């Protein structure tokens, strides 16, 4: 069989080829020779990356419209991606998940860490939701969907186009049904003894956040007989986990009415409606209002969206985390627990912890750090890519 001749892109002499050889998965535009030929490559083109001496380094997916101009797909002489190529990588990803989980509800593919750069796949039983956040994956989406059905046996594959990643790649925001028929109702998902309702067609991201699963479990251990406040609750997150852990009551706060409605539906399925309440509103305003209402809680959890999704937003994001910590710490009873989370990869653990401690101190509280949590093992980290270790959860006793 004659292998196709791939186009070539070349690194500048000052590029860090050592990092690429050691597993760095991204090549940035300022590291490459951006001649007219390279700029003319269509987004998603499969190419060979060469060093400045014209020695092949890797097979890459190219997007001249992105700051990440190339994503490493494999060795320079590897087969180009097709259905069989995707099958091999999906089998490897599935093998890990079936060792970790008894039921088919998990993140099946976590982008670069699973060898599929920019690709997120969450599984909900017989349905998989793909977020193709890179141009090459969008271009090969039909092959990916076909391989996904072959490997997992799912009957429905959906495309979710929400999220910042697709915008940065210059991709559309159109959702689609790739295989089968979309669920006509939210899908119940069991985690840590709690039930969650995942809206796979119009919910946020893929419909549910699996990454917090171990942190939900940790927090739930503190919630027995406790009054629990869950801010930025989405579809019930920590609140429902707390109810499963025996909380006396749980109040879920979020700005989204549809998300809170799904949380309430889940609480009803759990037979815990009498212990569950929701409050719609801005998180900062609601925290301040609860303080003026003299409300106090045994456990307070804040799991906000990424306040610092990039380096330019870091300082403003850290101030927001500090403010959240100050407002939430004021609502915790003496000897109670405060859980603060961040999904901002630009705010590393040290910076995030510092912001939290400043906020807690400004509230006049003295914290003891009990536990530091991260994403679950279905969200593996690629050591050479700091962005893959985005999630942090700090558990304090005040």
Which pLDDT score, from 0 to 100, does residue 5 have?
Answer: 86
State the burial class of residue 276 (Cβ atoms within 10 Å of its Cβ: 0-12, 13-18, 19+): buried
Which pLDDT score, from 0 to 100, does residue 4 have?
Answer: 61
Q: What is the CATH number assigned to the segment(s) 83-179?
A: 3.30.750.80
DSSP state at residue 300: E
Q: What is the CATH number assigned to the segment(s) 190-397?
A: 3.40.50.150
Which pLDDT score, from 0 to 100, does residue 193 have?
Answer: 96
| Backbone angle region of 369, left / alpha / beta, with phi > 0 → left and psi within -120 to 50 → alpha | beta
Which pLDDT score, from 0 to 100, does residue 202 have?
Answer: 84
H or E stretch at 153: none
- Of 156, 302, 341, 343, the active-site residue reads 343
Residues 233-291: tens digit of each pLDDT: 999 999 999 999 999 999 999 999 999 999 999 999 999 999 999 999 999 999 999 99
Distance CA 51, CA 10 (A): 6
Q: Please work out, in degrees rounded to the nearest 5, the angle formed at the alpha carbon of residue 220 by the alpha carbons of 100 and 275.
A: 125
Which pLDDT score, from 0 to 100, does residue 179 have?
Answer: 97
Which pLDDT score, from 0 to 100, does residue 361 have?
Answer: 98
Asked if 343 is an active-site residue, the reply is yes
User: What's the token pair of residue 381?
Assistant: 């980290």
Mean pLDDT by 10 residues, the chain (398 residues): 75 92 94 95 96 94 96 95 98 98 98 96 97 96 98 97 85 94 95 96 86 97 98 97 98 97 98 98 98 98 95 96 98 98 95 98 98 97 88 98
Residue 120 to residues 79, 108, 123, 165, 229, Cα–Cα distance (Å)? 22, 8, 10, 11, 30
Which pLDDT score, from 0 to 100, does residue 181 have?
Answer: 96
Q: According to the CATH classification, is domain 8-74 in 2.30.130.10?
A: yes
Distance CA 216, CA 382 (A): 23
Closest CA to 398 of 351, 321, 331: 331
Domain regions of the chain by residue span: 8-74, 83-179, 190-397
One DSSP character per residue, 54-119 reads S-EEEEEEE-TTSSEEEEEEE-TTSPPP-HHHHHHHHHHHHHHHHHH-SSSEEEEEEGGGGT-TTE
């Amino acid at each position: 069989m004659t292998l196709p001749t791939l186009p070539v892109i070349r690194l500048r002499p000052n590029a860090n080829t050592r990092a690429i050889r050691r597993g760095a998965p991204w090549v940035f535009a300022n590291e490459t020779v951006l001649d007219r030929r390279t700029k003319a490559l269509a987004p998603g083109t499969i190419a060979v990356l060469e060093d400045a001496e014209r020695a092949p380094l890797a097979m890459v997916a190219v997007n001249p419209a992105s700051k990440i101009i190339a994503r490493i797909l494999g060795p320079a002489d590897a087969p180009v991606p097709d259905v069989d190529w995707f099958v091999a990588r999906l089998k490897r990803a599935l093998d890990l998940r079936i060792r970790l989980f008894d039921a088919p509800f998990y993140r099946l593919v976590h982008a670069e860490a699973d060898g599929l750069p920019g690709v997120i796949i969450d599984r909900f039983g017989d349905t998989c939701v793909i977020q193709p956040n890179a141009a090459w994956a969008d271009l090969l989406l039909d092959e990916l969907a076909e391989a996904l059905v072959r490997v997992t046996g799912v009957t429905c594959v959906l495309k979710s186009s929400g999220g910042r990643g697709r915008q940065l790649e210059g991709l559309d925001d159109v959702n689609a049904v790739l295989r089968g028929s979309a669920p006509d109702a939210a899908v119940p998902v069991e985690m840590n003894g709690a039930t969650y309702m995942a809206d796979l067609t119009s919910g946020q991201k893929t419909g549910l956040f699996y990454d917090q699963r171990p942190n939900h479990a940790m927090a739930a251990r503190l919630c027995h007989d406790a009054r629990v406040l869950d801010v930025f609750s989405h579809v019930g997150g920590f609140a429902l986990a707390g109810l499963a852990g025996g909380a006396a009551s749980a109040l879920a706060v979020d700005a989204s009415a549809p998300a809170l409605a799904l949380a309430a539906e889940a609480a009803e399925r759990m037979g815990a409606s009498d212990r569950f309440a929701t409050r719609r509103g801005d998180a900062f305003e609601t925290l301040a209002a609860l303080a003026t209402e003299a409300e106090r809680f045994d456990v307070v959890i804040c799991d906000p969206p990424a306040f610092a999704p990039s380096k330019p937003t870091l300082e403003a994001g850290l101030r927001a985390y500090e403010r959240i910590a100050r407002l939430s710490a004021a609502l915790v009873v003496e000897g109670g627990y405060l859980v603060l989370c961040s999904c901002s990869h630009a705010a590393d653990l040290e910076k995030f912890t510092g912001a939290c401690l400043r906020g807690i101190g400004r509230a006049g509280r003295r914290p003891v750090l009990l536990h530091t949590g991260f994403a679950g093992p279905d969200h593996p980290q690629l050591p050479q890519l700091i962005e893959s270790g985005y999630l942090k959860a700090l558990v304090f006793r005040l």
